[in-house]
Amino acid sequence: MRFRRTTASAVTALLTLTTVGVTAAPAAARGAPLGPTAYGYGGAVSTVDPTATAVGLDVLRRGGNAVDAAVAAAATLGVTEPFSAGIGGGGFFVYYDAKQRKVHTIDGRETGPASMTEDWFRNPETGQPYAFPEARVSGLSVGVPGTPATWASAVRKWGSRPLGSLLEPAARVADRGFAVDATFRQQVADNAAPFGQFESTSELYLPGGAPPAVGTVLRNPDLADTYRLIARQGTDAFYRGALARDIVATVQEPPVAENPLSPWQYEIRGADLRLSDLANYRLRHPAPTRSTYRGHTVYGMSTPSSGGVAVGEALNIMERTNLSSASEVQVLHQYLEASALAFADRNRYVGAYTPQWQLDRLISDRWARQRACRIDPGQALTKPVPPGDIRGSGCTPAPVGAPVSDGKSTTNLTVSDRWGNVVEYTLTIEQTGGSGIVVPGRGFLLNNELTDFNFAPTQGDAPDPNLPGPNKRPRSSMSPTIVLKDGKPFLALGSPGGATIITTVLQILVNRIDLGMTLPEAMAAPRASQRNSAGIPAEPAFRSRYEAGLTGLGHSFAADVPELGAATAIEFRRGGGLIAAAEPTRRGGGAAGTVRPRR
């Protein structure tokens, strides 16, 4: 359960900006406080956090481009949203270059150490998979972070400012402090037990042994120093220098407190991550996934994310049916069925090493025909549905696969600039709070991304594409998406939420394109997430609005989930108009702004 950011705390956040005097202050001072929706021109920023959005807008107003602003905003999120993002994690950066009219990607996914084996998450004594918290809060879950390399590479290739100058506003926020809001406090409270195991984490986030009160100014001078070290020495400091040594020591022997603040029932294990694993980290630049949907071209992230393939496949399946005069319930029925089918295929076929021909097949119209033939407009399929037969062509599926679990938290941001460049960037440390381990003296949390691997085979007799292996990247669901229409950007969007990211992105697209909602309506609308399970997890408002119609078609619902996702997006209108949108209420509400607000 999360709390809404109250007006008071939104004001506190803005006041803090002014009192701490970061370069972002003018951005906030220039107009009304940053709300969830903004209309205007000349570039835009949408993130989950007003400080990060203000920093991004300030970079744009000072002449920086979308890549500069995205990196500065992401670095700020590493301070103010440290439980979802930061240099201890990874992510996927999707960039539309207006001059080249081309979409590029950076795969900055965390990577397993060379020593990683298939049974990494199984207790050697019992052969049984570890309980999730035992795997998460350990060195075993920590992959080599890709985020510092992502920022450096994005700025080098497409930015116009040195990385150091883009880290400085975030370093200042870390130095001078920011006001704790209700979402932040709640995230600490939810993590009090794991955070309490490590002095490095509890000193920072459990001052006096308890979560900081709303309104407290929280400082992180260690992180400010870390950012400035990277500013001076470049990312070598992180992958080969002092930071690399500290990361390796922390993972090999997690710094468990002599007197932990609270009980923890699991052993906290170290793992064999070495300096060579950090030194050998490489970004990848896979071609984006590409599919078309009702006159739009949809670009997404390829493997190791399953996001682009799954969103593309589900849209292709939906496109088999003309929905122009369909009822809202029928459109949602098609959405839920397409999503279940796409998830069955993702679980069976998609992982870091899926051959390109299989990815191409999954996102082809031929495959969509092969899968859509299973959908009945009057009756929901029994879930879980089996995956399709990747070597076949008929409607007969392959033997059944199983649904798989999902992660918890991440953050997303969307930026555009006056030249028409667009960045869609999802970054994460996996669970809210990552592994729970702050690197002592360095001020950032290490990810637990490696728990995105399956701990044991999930696909019966068929191979599981997402088992651990040496130097392997775990499958992700992150779906940073850029949609073009008539060859120009139309919409950029993304969200956190583990495997529900795929359905959140899909549902916003369906709301906008098929149901004709405006972008802010499409973002606010209640969500449901059919990931190929018998009961559909849905927000309470979705159930009260559509349950009767959808159960009439044979769908059934699982227990309510309070909220799904925390999306950000920008829509590009004719004549250069922009609609920047963040969540009105989920995860406390987000912050969107434009360079030149519409009067």
Residues contributing to the site for ligand GLU (CB under 6 A): 407-410, 428, 430, 449, 452, 476-478, 496-498, 501
Q: Which residue has the tokens 């390796």?
A: 248
Q: How far is the CB of 52 from ligand GLU (least distance, A)?
A: 17
Is 428 an annotated catalytic residue?
A: no
CA distances from 281 to 223, 431, 492 (A): 22, 22, 29
Which two tokens mark 382? 């029994």
Q: 44 or 450: whose CB is closer to ligand GLU?
A: 450
* Among 350, 343, 501, 359, residue whose Cα is nearest residue 430: 501
- The Cα 99–Cα 89 span in angstroms is 31
Q: 136 or 219: whose CB is closer to ligand GLU?
A: 136
Count of helices and strands (H, E) across the chain: 21, 16
Q: 350 or 550: whose CB is closer to ligand GLU?
A: 350
Query: Amino acid letter at 54?
Result: A
Q: How far is the CB of 425 from ligand GLU (least distance, A)?
A: 13
- CB distance 37 to 521 below 8 Å: no
Q: How far is the CB of 450 from ligand GLU (least distance, A)?
A: 10
Residues 6+ apart with CB under 8 A from 109: 90, 91, 92, 143, 146, 284, 304, 305, 449, 473, 474, 476
Three-state DSSP class for 442?
A: coil
Q: What's the gap between Cα 209 and its chain centre?
A: 30
Q: How far is the CB of 399 from ligand GLU (least distance, A)?
A: 26
Three-state DSSP class for 273?
A: coil
Q: 313 or 449: whose CB is closer to ligand GLU?
A: 449
Q: 23 or 187: whose CB is closer to ligand GLU?
A: 187
Q: How far is the CB of 434 from ligand GLU (least distance, A)?
A: 10
* Among 318, 377, 386, residue whose Cα is nearest residue 550: 377
Indicate which residue of 76, 150, 410, 451 is catalytic. 410
DSSP sequence for 450-461: GGGS-SS--STT
Q: How far is the CB of 441 from ligand GLU (least distance, A)?
A: 26
CB pairs under 8 A, 24+ apart, for 320-323?
320/368, 320/369, 320/372, 321/372, 321/375, 321/377, 323/514
- The Cα 46–Cα 42 span in angstroms is 14
Q: How far is the CB of 474 from ligand GLU (least distance, A)?
A: 7
**In the complex, residue closest to ligand GLU by CB:** 410
DSSP-derived secondary structure letter, 554: T
Q: 455 or 490: whose CB is closer to ligand GLU?
A: 455
Q: 251 or 484: whose CB is closer to ligand GLU?
A: 251
Q: How far is the CB of 481 from ligand GLU (least distance, A)?
A: 14
- 21 Ramachandran zone, left/alpha/beta (phi>0; psi -120 to 50): left
Which two tokens mark 208? 């006096």
Q: 309 or 501: whose CB is closer to ligand GLU?
A: 501
Q: Could you list the active site residues?
A: 410
